Amino acid sequence: MKRQPLLIGSIVLVSVLVLAAVAAPWIAPYDPMAQSILRRFRPPSAEHWLGTDQFGRDTFSRMLYGARASLTVSVAAVGTALLVGGTLGLLAAFYRGWCDRISMRLMDVLFAFPVMLLAIGVVAILGPTSSSAAVAIAVVYTPIFARLIRAPALVIASSDFVMGARAIGASNARILVHHMLPNLASVILVQTSLLLSAAILVEASLAFLGLGTQPPAPSLGLMLSEGRNVLSFSPWIAVFSGLGIVLLAFGFNLMGDALRDRLDPRLAGHG
Amino acid sequence: MRKAILAAALLAGGWAGGSQAQVLQIAVDGSPAGLDPHLVTAFNSFQVVSGTIYEALTAIDRNLSIVPGLASSWTVSSDGKTYTFQLRSGVRFHSGAEMTAEDVASSIRRVQSPAIGSALASRLAAVDQAVATNPTTVTLTLKEPFAGLLTALAGIAIVPRTLEADKDTLQRAPNGTGPFRFVEWQPNSFIALAKHDGYWQSSRPQLAGVRYSIVPESQTRQAGLGSGQFHMLANIDAATALPLRGRPNVQIQDTLELAYSLIGFNTSKAPFDNPKVRAAINTALNRAEIVQAALFGAGVPGGPLSPALKDWAVDVAEFPCYRPDPARARALLAEAGVSQPITARMIVLPRQDIRDIAQVVQAQLGAIGIRVEIVNQEIGQFVQDWRNSNFDLFASTNAGSIDPDDYFFRAFRTGGSTNVYKYSNPELDRLLDLARTQGNQAERRATYAQVQRMIACEGPAAHIAYAQLFTAHRTTVRGFEILANRSLLSLGQVTIAP
Amino acid sequence: MILRVAGQRLGDLALVMLGMSFLVFAMIRLVPGDAVAIMLGANTEVTPERMAALRAELGLDQPMLVQYGVWLSNVLTGDLGRSLWTGRPVAAEIAGHVWPTVQLTVVALVLGAGLAVPLGCLMATWRGRWADGLLRIVTVLGLTIPSFWFGILMILTLSILAPEVQALGYVPFSEDPLGNLARLALPALALALPILANLARLVRSAMLDALAQDYIRTARAKGLSERAVVYRHALANALIPFVTSVGIMTGYLLGGAIVVEQVFAIPGLGRLVLGAISERNYPLLQATILVITASFVLINFAVDLLYAAIDPRIRA
């Protein structure tokens, strides 16, 4: 409990993955788009660690760039959802009244859609590109953040120290920024990490269904979808790209989980 | 030819003698959008209805020759403008009604009718009138001689005359004269056909029925064939077929496809209006590499006509631009004097092999400094953009035809019905018009050879490759013959050994 | 009491359904460009008459609010419109695809929930031990393995190890009950995995919560065996949050089914939705999304009521 191997382990895992993705242009051994028809379908070797695909492109390099693409979409989407949904939830909890009622009913409407279905619907409207996948994921997670933030924000808004700050005449903005936000930080951190994990999976599913990143750009979900066509004679493409998705999603989920244990006092005894 | 069919029929009959009639289980990759033979354009629909539910006046055999279909014989007037067809007797629709000359004439009018809006209409553009002279004779009069008529007619299914103005019924409830009648269609699940008891060829079909299961995932289809759940994967590409090679109890047939892949240019837009630029692109393309990468080596680089059309196709070795040479391509671009770098938006048909081809083409054109932006679209958007010439380049596939006119005239003649390239070349127009009137095969062949040389390098389309088409089936399936036009015509003679 | 809660929830439900219906209705109108032209795009011959006819059929030539009113009243009377390509009523298309999905989700839910209870209990009783830690990592892994990847790996493994086993594709239950269930096993397993992981974690923490409560201490003090304490008392209490999550899980299941159906060739609602997207068959897409979402909302409503019925704290 004291040394928290899960937390440290997951932070190391996530850091390594994120660094590898960010540094893809410098550490990838090959150009992810460079084709070499003579080197197609090479199994993993010293030259190509994870083999090559149908066009002779290096799987490892494509995975690094693919992880970068997946992370970009997921981070942008979850960031937007956090900004919009979080703000809505915070304001709703703080001001209560009709503001709360309207925004929460609105969120209920979005929340009523199963996640994948809503995402697919948004992409169906906007057309299949990586940016519409990002919009779709942001739309899906906005109500989730709004609800997640609203509940603890309600508690904090009626706490003694917020009441106290009000009593000494602090402005609403000041209370929101200096008193409410810092107390919500741990919830936000935990949920962002967990939802990033889920967003990575949604992005991969969309790309897998042909509704996200389009070829020839590398994306883990797309690589998996391309790899399944040649599964029986060069399984490494689908196997490794799927593994990449799992590692990313697993890292963020485990980190969120371990963070929750660390930061949520209610669960502290249960680790 | 007749003898060969007879022999096959006897052989098939012999096999059937020892076994119970069975339902042939075929796995296909997509759900058809509809089943009206005059309205559907997708292969998904085509392979369900063509040769199974429907038949036409003429048919195309394994050697791509014209053979009698519902017409047992025909005569052509000396001016080439009147065709008289003698119909077989005893042909019945699945509904039970007897097929007469009136049904044939009405089917031709149906295809030509603007209200029905059939895409096949352009193939019958030369037909002025179809008249039922008596119950077993149909006379077609043409506006001008049209050498490709018999080929075109092989693609015109004969439907009951009562449906001439009805564009809904046949989409869901097909009714033809073929060996199998339609039973049930569960969208996304299966289409079931059953034996047509009143079929005109006695002792056919041998099967009790055919069931098309719709299975989108190729891995699932492969596993299903391996386990014997499916008898056949019909008309599949190399990526699906090659892993099945050598599996126990699985047999693979292949043929060179009539359909071809191509890169089209919008010749109304600079710099693709410049023949030198088009020649440069043709020279930059390495078709052998494309066949390797996108078609798994199962195909041949192709010119404007399929090498399967031995009588017509000019050997690609005769086209100078078919020797890949990036240096020469760059020189051609420089000669063309267009501003560089060239950027181009390429729309891509949403099919795996075409998407793969587009990726290789993008890389190869990148090597001579042409930046291609690939736009992957859904089918609806693609067809719309394609039809409206809303592209710089497109990557697609065409079904191909056994008669050169059927393809060249509508695609490349000024104002042709599928001339989305907006291509106009008076000299080419003259040759295409001339060939239509040439009854002498040798003269016609010479004209089309000239046409092919004219468009191979500087034409509005870079023809890429003709793929090998495969059908994989259980070894217990006997009598099946793969056809280059993807028709499942031979299902009528198929049997399944116990 | 329960009636008042039900009444309140029913009011919320009506509001949510109304908003949801508007969002679904807005779909066609949100398509950039001319939706009708795009819808007809894949068709061979697009004439201005056909476009005008379709526009009138979809009511797109009317003012927006009138359109919504007409559409809503049609939907309420059970008329969901017609599929663009087959011309069949959308309601019939949906009815033809609903059973495989229901069957798949129910089997996956039963499988996931059924295995989650014992697994969660084990984890709770092993708390702090290495086995608990290991299982925890395994459950996170279960949560994050994409079902389509897992499905593909299973198909690959099966076709290598037992190529003659017919466990793929779909046959209706009415035709071949055993074959139907056999073919359902792999997709249900792929779909159930994240549910199993999620619910097992939930059971674990609910059990730990319950075990720390006073009444459990009392039970222990009374000298009841640890097993009796865990199973009779703690588990009963842990079931409350479990039931709530099952409602939320159905949402995941319906979405996950879309992907899994595609991989395993199951002709369910997911295939219908994806097919409708690629055909730009908006009337069909609109109606299918409406039906799936409405059933999701109704299931959660039912779970809410159930929850209120079994949890005394909510009732009070």
Domain boundaries, chain C: 2-76, 91-315
pLDDT per position as a tens digit, A172-181 = 888 888 888 8
- Kindly report which listed range (B385-394, C11-20, C50-59, C64-73) carries the lowest average pLDDT score: C50-59
Q: At what angle do helices A181-208 and A115-126 cross, to 10 degrees?
A: 70
* Type and span of the H or E element at C188: helix C177-211
pLDDT per position as a tens digit, C168-216 = 767 777 777 787 888 888 899 999 998 898 888 888 887 777 777 776 6
- Kindly report which listed range (B416-430, C225-239, C280-294) carries the lowest average pLDDT score: C225-239
- B214 chain-C contacts, CB cut-off 8 A: 265, 267
Q: What residues are paired with B375 via a beta bridge?
A: B347
Burial grade of A41 (CB within 10 A; 0-12, 13-18, 19 or more): middle
The CATH number corresponding to A5-22+57-267 among 3.40.50.261, 1.10.3720.10, 3.40.50.300, 3.20.20.450 equals: 1.10.3720.10
- Buried-exposed string A103-118: b where 16+ CB fall within 10 A, e elsewhere: bbebbbbbbbbbbbbb
Contact B471, B482 (CB under 8 A): yes
Q: Which of C86, C272, C280 sits opposite B378 (nearest CB)?
A: C280
Give B270 or B475, the one with higher predicted confidence. B475
pLDDT surpasses 80 at A232:
no
Mean pLDDT (whole number) for A114-135: 84
**Comparing C-alpha atoms, which of B307, B294, B220, B234 is closest to residue B263?**
B294
B379: closest CA of chain C, how far (Å): 6
- Kindly report which listed range (B4-8, B350-354, B424-428, B487-491) carries the lowest average pLDDT score: B4-8
pLDDT for the residue numbered C277: 77
pLDDT for the residue numbered A7: 87
- Kindly report which listed range (A85-94, A240-249, B280-289, C61-70) carries the lowest average pLDDT score: C61-70
pLDDT for the residue numbered B161: 93
Omega of the bond leading into A216 within 30 degrees of 0 (cis): yes
Give the nearest chain C residue to A209 (CA atoms). C259
pLDDT for the residue numbered C8: 76
Q: Which of B217, B293, B362 sits opposite A54 (nearest CB)?
A: B293
- B382 chain-C contacts, CB cut-off 8 A: 41
Mean pLDDT (whole number) for B468-480: 94
CB contact under 8 A, C146 and A120: no
pLDDT surpasses 60 at B328:
yes
pLDDT surpasses 60 at A3:
no
pLDDT surpasses 80 at B299:
yes
Omega of the bond leading into B248 within 30 degrees of 0 (cis): no
Mean pLDDT (whole number) for A223-233: 83
- A200 band by pLDDT with thresholds 50, 70 and 90: very high
pLDDT for the residue numbered C217: 72
pLDDT surpasses 70 at C146:
yes
Parallel/antiparallel/unpaired status of strands B370-376 and B342-348: parallel
CB contact under 8 A, C30 and A125: yes
- C262 chain-B contacts, CB cut-off 8 A: 216-217
Contact A128, A214 (CB under 8 A): yes
CATH architecture of the region C91-315: Orthogonal Bundle (1.10)
CB contact under 8 A, C279 and B33: yes
CB contact under 8 A, A35 and B352: no
**Comparing C-alpha atoms, which of A190, A224, A234 is closest to residue A70?**
A224
pLDDT surpasses 90 at C310:
no
- B292 chain-A contacts, CB cut-off 8 A: 37, 40
Mean pLDDT (whole number) for A75-94: 91
Distance separating alpha carbons of residues A129 and C147, to the nearest angstrom = 22
Mean pLDDT (whole number) for A63-71: 93
Distance separating alpha carbons of residues A256 and A253, to the nearest angstrom = 5
Distance separating alpha carbons of residues B494 and B152, to the nearest angstrom = 26
Chains contacting B with at least 3 CB pairs below 8 Å? A, C
- B17 band by pLDDT with thresholds 50, 70 and 90: very low
C163: closest CA of chain B, how far (Å): 5
CB contact under 8 A, A37 and B360: yes
pLDDT surpasses 60 at A265:
no
- B42 band by pLDDT with thresholds 50, 70 and 90: low
pLDDT for the residue numbered B450: 94
pLDDT for the residue numbered B4: 45
> What three-state secondary structure class fits A58?
strand
- C32 band by pLDDT with thresholds 50, 70 and 90: low
Supply the DSSP symbol for C233. Answer: I
- B11 band by pLDDT with thresholds 50, 70 and 90: very low
Amino acid sitting at position B272: F
pLDDT for the residue numbered B18: 40
pLDDT surpasses 50 at A119:
yes
**Mean pLDDT, chain A, integer:** 85
CB contact under 8 A, B228 and C264: no
pLDDT for the residue numbered B474: 95
Q: How many beta-carbon pairs under 8 angstroms link A with B?
A: 49
- A149 band by pLDDT with thresholds 50, 70 and 90: confident
Q: Give chain B as a 3 state SS string.
A: CHHHHHHHHHHHHHHHHCCCCCEEEEEECCCCCCCCCCCCCCHHHHHHHECCCECCCEEECCCCCEEECCEEEEEECCCCCEEEEEECCCCECCCCCECCHHHHHHHHHHHHCCCCCCHHHHHHCCEEEEEEEECCEEEEEECCCCCCHHHHHCCCCCCCHHHCCCCCHHHHCCCCCCCEEEEEEECCCEEEEEECCCCCCCCCCCCCEEEEEECCCHHHHHHHHHHCCCCEEEEECHHHHHHHCCCCCEEEEEEEEEEEEEEEECCCCCCCCCHHHHHHHHHHCCHHHHHHHHHCCCEEECCCCCCCCCCCCCCHHHCHHHCCCHHHHHHHHHHHCCCCCEEEEEEECCCHHHHHHHHHHHHHHHCCCEEEEEEECCHHHHHHHHHCCCCCEEEEEECCCCCHHHHHHHHHCCCCCCCCCCCCCHHHHHHHHHHHHCCCHHHHHHHHHHHHHHHHHHCCEEEEEEEEEEEEEECCEECCCCCCCCCCHHHHHCEECC
pLDDT for the residue numbered B285: 95
pLDDT per position as a tens digit, B306-323 = 888 888 999 999 999 999
Give residue for tokens 């420089």: B334
The residues in C 222-261 lying below 8 A from A, measured between CB atoms, are 251-252, 254-256, 258-259
CB contact under 8 A, C149 and A106: no
- B282 band by pLDDT with thresholds 50, 70 and 90: very high
pLDDT for the residue numbered B130: 93
Contact B221, B27 (CB under 8 A): yes
pLDDT for the residue numbered B195: 94
Q: Which of C39, C44, C168 sits opposite B119 (nearest CB)?
A: C44
CB contact under 8 A, C205 and A106: no
- C16 band by pLDDT with thresholds 50, 70 and 90: confident
B103: closest CA of chain C, how far (Å): 24
Distance separating alpha carbons of residues C234 and B14, to the nearest angstrom = 73
CB contact under 8 A, B215 and C265: yes
CB contact under 8 A, B376 and A214: yes
Distance separating alpha carbons of residues C300 and C237, to the nearest angstrom = 20
B301: closest CA of chain C, how far (Å): 29
Mean pLDDT (whole number) for A91-106: 81
- C156 chain-B contacts, CB cut-off 8 A: 219
